[in-house]
Amino acid sequence: MQTLKVSLAERSYPIHIGADILTRSDLLLPHLKQKKAVVVTNVTVAPLYLDRLMETLANIDVSALPIILQDGESHKNWETLNLIFDALLDSHCERSTTLIALGGGVIGDMGGFAASCYQRGMPFIQIPTTLLSQVDSSVGGKTAINHPLGKNMIGAFYQPKLVLADISTLDTLADRELRAGLAEVIKYGLIRDSDFFDWLEINIEALLKRDREALAYAVYRSCANKAEVVAADERETGERALLNLGHTFGHAIETGMGYGEWLHGEAVSAGTLIAMDLSQRLGMVTVDEVFRVKNIFTRAGLPISAPGLGAERYLELMRHDKKVQDGKLRLVLLEKIGKAVISDAASEKEILASINAVCT
């Protein structure tokens, strides 16, 4: 097992990464304020890992109430959030009861948001079980639900007390979900870690084959990058926005297609290719760099073209982006592989041209 730390003064917390650590009561014990917890999970993850976690908690005399939600991005909304609040109130959870989110990014984002609001904030723990949630969403305290008009529009910054990433849970993950997680892994290489990008070019097939050592390394290196960025800019006033490479376009794809049609990682992949096209159009990256990026996403089995929603519709959806400032769109672009910048330099005409160039 390896451990990283997200350094945020009194809100600092560890990220434990390793195989079969879901059974490690000793890792959970120091972070539980009382002998009562709730486990928020879903109908897919519960049959796979809930019993194991309940046993781990029982071994330290913690009684836990499971809250089992429907599965899917289309359930990341107010109605589902309310089901969590109903269960918390029904079972007389207190402000010091811990909420444990067991599942992918949808469960982590919703569980975290519920924890941030319930009685004005209860402690929570992230136990991510998808590659995407282990490398990205469980770390950094962004929590949210979707609104019909925009992705992750209602939420809070609220840090967990602990992230426990058991990479053996990835054994049961569908291939499509594994590939979607790789989009966020590749992102770190592109925005700030060119050595990692080089490593990914060599090891992408090993990751697709679920080689344990390669996966553990990719999760560790991704979390190390994310922990550094979050420690420097917790509430996204600057550098943290770079983690959104491809996301402005990607969120437009997710919202425009209907939540759940395109997986988040798939939308980020296609969105990153639009950002690359725009970066090249503005003279920032070379044709060769665009080729390398296209190539790695193709090898990862991810989409390199975006759905044809119509370029104007993309722009309309993108106007809800959280990086919009004084009504002006700001986009994450690449200066080179390993260095991203936030820029408002692109004209509407150039943005439309890049969308059209990458759309099918």
Contact 59, 44 (CB under 8 A): no
37-66 mask for ligand NAD (x: CB under 6 A)? -----x-xx--x------------------
Note the helical H segments in the chain.
25-28, 51-58, 78-90, 105-117, 131-132, 175-192, 194-208, 212-232, 247-257, 264-281, 287-299, 311-318, 348-358
Selection from ligand NAD, ligand GLY, none that 240 binds (CB < 5 to 8 A by kind) is ligand GLY
Among 104, 105, 140, 189, the residue binding ligand GLY under the rule CB under 6 A is 140
DSSP, collapsed to helix, strand or coil, labels residue 186 as helix
Among 180, 207, 300, 334, the residue binding ligand NAD under the rule CB under 6 A is 180
Distance CA 255, CA 195 (A): 33
Neighbours of 138 (CB within 10 A): 31
Residues of the binding site for NAD(+): 71-76, 105-109, 129-130, 142, 151, 169-172
Among 136, 236, 266, 289, the residue binding ligand NAD under the rule CB under 6 A is 136
Selection from ligand GLY, ligand NAD, none that 80 binds (CB < 5 to 8 A by kind) is none
- Closest approach, Cβ 240 to ligand GLY, in A, equals 5
Distance CA 347, CA 353 (A): 10
Binding status of residue 225 toward ligand NAD by CB under 6 A: no
DSSP, collapsed to helix, strand or coil, labels residue 2 as strand
- Closest approach, Cβ 321 to ligand NAD, in A, equals 13
Binding status of residue 152 toward ligand NAD by CB under 6 A: yes
Examine the residue annotation and report whether 225 is marked as an active-site residue of this protein: no
Distance CA 314, CA 248 (A): 9
Report the b/e string of 153-168 with b at 16+ CB within 10 A.
Answer: bebebbbbbbbbbbbb
215-244 mask for ligand GLY (x: CB under 6 A)? -------------------------x--xx
Point out the catalytic residue in the list 161, 192, 264, 292: 264
Residue count at the site for ligand NAD (CB under 6 A)? Answer: 29
Distance CA 11, CA 42 (A): 27
Examine the residue annotation and report whether 184 is marked as an active-site residue of this protein: yes
Site for ligand GLY in 95-124 (CB under 6 A): none
End-to-end CA distance of the chain: give it in Å, rounded.
Answer: 43
What residues make contact with ligand NAD under the rule CB under 6 A? 42, 44-45, 48, 71, 73, 76, 103-107, 109, 129-130, 132-133, 136-137, 140, 142, 152, 169, 172-173, 177, 180, 264-265
Q: Which residues are catalytic?
A: 120, 142, 184, 226, 236, 240, 244, 247, 251, 264
